[in-house]
Structure 1
Amino acid sequence: MTTEKASASFEETLSELEAIVNEMENGDLPLNKALEKFERGIALSRQGQQSLENAEQKVKILLNEQGEETLQSLPESEQP
């Protein structure tokens, strides 16, 4: 993995993951290519999850510095 790929933004990671999903849903990939894409997709998924966890931790730290102890959940009507 190159340094450029390792430091990809969350948005770039998500975009690449979406492209892989689209390719795999098409169903025209040979098995070995599909497995490679699947493996890359898993790595991207983990990278994206780590980015989200890091962002959540930063938010928690900032809220704690402001005297707010916890994150508030979104009302169900605002959740994706």
Structure 2
Amino acid sequence: MSEPSTPPTQSYEQAREELADVVRKLEGGGLTLEESLALWERGEELAGICQHWLDAARERLDRVGPTDD
């Protein structure tokens, strides 16, 4: 799974919710092979968007570093 090359237009929350919907549809079955493949591909894209946001958040946290309170 690859990350998007440009910043995603969807927020993490939007992508996660759409990804959950894709998973529900795939698990529900009753789809043609073409529909299943299209949903799978969209799911991969959404997972990449989510990963982009998670990686960006981790980088921000790493820059802040641990605090000695």
- TM-score, with normalisation over the residues of structure 1? 0.70
- Taking only aligned residues, the RMSD between alpha carbons, in angstroms, comes to 1.3
> Whole-Å Cα distance in 1 between the matches of residues 20 and 10 of structure 2?
15
With a CA cutoff of 8 Å and minimum separation of 6, indicate the structure with the bigger relative contact order.
2
The count of aligned residue pairs is: 60
Distance 1:8 1:42 in 2: 14
Query: Structure 1: any 5+ residue segments left out of the alignment?
Result: 1-5, 70-80
Question: How big is the shift at 1:22?
Answer: 0.1
Letter in 1 for 2:39: K
**TM-score when normalising by structure 2:** 0.80
Specify the structure having the higher radius of gyration (Cα): 1
Unpaired segments ≥5 residues, structure 2 = 1-7
Cα deviation, residue 28, structure 1: 1.0
